[in-house]
Amino acid sequence: MLVVGVLDWVMAEFVRLYHGVPADQAQRIVDQLVTRQAPAVQDFGADLKVLRADLGASEHTLVLLYQRGEEGADLSELTKWSPTSMRTNLRRTLGALAEKKRFVHQAGDHYTITRAGQAHVEQKRLLDP
């Protein structure tokens, strides 16, 4: 994580110096360029599939949102990508991740993983296949 953080900062500095933009704008540009990949998720075009069957609903949802990065996902997408057994309580699961744990940011029916959520996924090694 340290190496990735340092490389993100170096890349942002290159963008800032080359384009003459403020540091926060340079960081947003780099964040849009860098896509975090989750080995535990396979992308089938418009469909994502979590390859780990041992994850609970919260972990499953966090892995999906980690894969989506800053783009996030709508409730309808998350519902489509979740196993049938997790769909009934998905809204409640997302609410707990947003309100209690602060791992997810909610804007209407759109959800995005927070830095705290990303750190949790990485610390718990949820991305391992």
Neighbour count for residue 24 (Cβ, 10 Å): 10
Bridge pairing between strands 110-113 and 104-107: antiparallel
Question: One digit per residue, pLDDT tens: the chain, 129 residues?
Answer: 678 778 877 888 888 888 888 888 877 777 666 656 678 999 898 899 999 999 999 999 999 999 998 889 999 999 999 999 999 999 999 999 999 999 999 999 999 999 999 999 999 999 988
What is the reported pTM? 0.75
Spell out the CATH class of 41-123.
mainly alpha
Neighbour count for residue 68 (Cβ, 10 Å): 21
Residue ranges per structural domain of the chain: 2-33, 41-123
